[in-house]
Amino acid sequence: MKSVLLTGGAGYIGSHVANFLLDKGIKVTIIDNLATGNKKIVPKKSELYVCDISDENRITKIIKKNNFDMVMHFAGVVRVDESIKNPKKYENINFKKGRAFLKVCFKNNLKNILFSSTASVYGKNSSKKVNEKDKLKPMNPYAKSKLNLEKFIIKKSKLNKIHYIILRYFNVAGADKKLRSGMIAKSSTNLIKVICEVAVGKRKKFRINGNDYNTTDGTTIRDFIHVSDLAEIHYLTSKYLIKNKKSKILNCGYGKGYSVLEVLKNMNKIVQKKIPTVIGKRRPKDIMISISNTKKINKFIKWKPKFNDLNKILSSSYRWEKKLIKNF
């Protein structure tokens, strides 16, 4: 892999992957319209085009000027709550614009695609740890828009010589060791981001959305994956795709869940104070437990997580949040 076209590189996950690839000596060209992204986390060694993914003319020119051997598509909108209020926005950006972008790639002979999908395509599932063959029951417009683009890619790959990696991320968290990047979303609903914002005084209280679930402590359980491990997965799976030309759908998680209360208690220890907390009601359609079955990904890539530790995830997120106060 020598040269990657990466959309959404001014965002949280895209910028981490861009840094990872650049550290490996790979050329990275970024397309981002800066809708939710920020130039400050775009790696300096990358080439940034401030451009919408639906801008066919500009993207065609960018592709023709370069010699990309891999496309990684991260750009999109990511808030479940917003998608419930404004489903059309999600269908438009994540599905329709995503589809338009990929059509331009296919037309210009770019045939190795990695797509950032989400574990929320599984919805409420009966399996304890969800695997890639489990039923797909997206429960909100965000998840539906991501699944629609998955289906488009799969359909296209059957008709043309297109190969894909679809990564279904579980809960992504943490920040780069060197603090080159981290989560920048404003008014985020991400659990760890919100806890960090309370810890640094940006928000008054952390609200637990329901403590009456059928789990050991009554709060929901999630599988948190450190963004730097996730970045490495992008590198390894893309190399796999280029070498083997075999399309795969892969879960990205550690296969271990932590409850909201466990996350909170660990964070209290890290910041050495009690984070102000209130107990609220359940959010509609919230899933009780979401944990990845990791067998498939471990079969295809030699991946040894380096940051598989809740404290590493929490402390890097906290350090990043403190940096954000000074620099953004």
Ligand X SMILES: NC(=O)c1ccc[n+]([C@@H]2O[C@H](COP(=O)([O-])OP(=O)(O)OC[C@H]3O[C@@H](n4cnc5c(N)ncnc54)[C@H](O)[C@@H]3O)[C@@H](O)[C@H]2O)c1
Residue of 23, 24, 35, 216 interacting with ligand X (CB under 6 A): 35
Identity of the residue, 172 or 297, whose beta carbon is nearer to ligand X in the bound complex: 172
Q: Supply the minimum distance, in Å, between the C-beta of residue 272 and ligand X.
A: 27
Residue with tokens 């979401």: 290
Tokens of 193: 């981001």
Q: Which of 253, 250, 249, 194 is nearest to 227 (CA)?
A: 253
Q: Supply the minimum distance, in Å, between the C-beta of residue 257 and ligand X.
A: 15
Identity of the residue, 75 or 275, whose beta carbon is nearer to ligand X in the bound complex: 75
Q: Which helix (H) or strand (E) holds 193?
A: helix 191-199
Residues 6+ apart with CB under 8 A from 266: 310, 311, 314
Confirm or reject binding of residue 105 to ligand X (CB under 6 A). Answer: no
Distance from CA of residue 295 to its chain's centroid? 20
Confirm or reject binding of residue 48 to ligand X (CB under 6 A). Answer: no
Q: Which helix (H) or strand (E) holds 250?
A: strand 248-252
d(CA 117, CA 244): 21
d(CA 28, CA 5): 6
Stretch that binds ligand X, among 70-78, 103-111, 130-138, 157-165 (CB under 6 A): 70-78
Tokens of 44: 């300096």
Identity of the residue, 12 or 254, whose beta carbon is nearer to ligand X in the bound complex: 12
Q: Supply the minimum distance, in Å, between the C-beta of residue 92 and ligand X.
A: 9
Q: In terms of C-beta density within 10 A (0-12 exposed, 13-18 middle, 19 or more buried), how is residue 265 classed? A: middle
Confirm or reject binding of residue 171 to ligand X (CB under 6 A). Answer: yes
Site string for ligand X, 211-250 (x = CB under 6 A): ----------------------------------------
Tokens of 177: 């060791």
Q: Give yes or no: 142 in active site.
A: yes
- For residue 287, give Cα distances in angstroms to 78, 121, 127, 217, 224: 17, 12, 12, 15, 15
Q: Give me the catalytic one of 12, 142, 235, 254.
A: 142
Residue of 1, 4, 6, 10 interacting with ligand X (CB under 6 A): 10
Q: Which of 149, 142, 158, 119 is nearest to 250 (CA)?
A: 119
Confirm or reject binding of residue 123 to ligand X (CB under 6 A). Answer: no
Radius of gyration of the chain (CA): 19
Confirm or reject binding of residue 150 to ligand X (CB under 6 A). Answer: no
Confirm or reject binding of residue 118 to ligand X (CB under 6 A). Answer: yes
Confirm or reject binding of residue 195 to ligand X (CB under 6 A). Answer: no
Q: Supply the minimum distance, in Å, between the C-beta of residue 301 and ligand X.
A: 19
Q: Supply the minimum distance, in Å, between the C-beta of residue 55 and ligand X.
A: 8
Residues assigned a catalytic role: 142
- Interacting residue ranges for ligand X, rule: CB under 6 A: 7-8, 10-14, 31-37, 52-53, 74-78, 93, 97, 116, 118, 146, 169, 171-172, 185
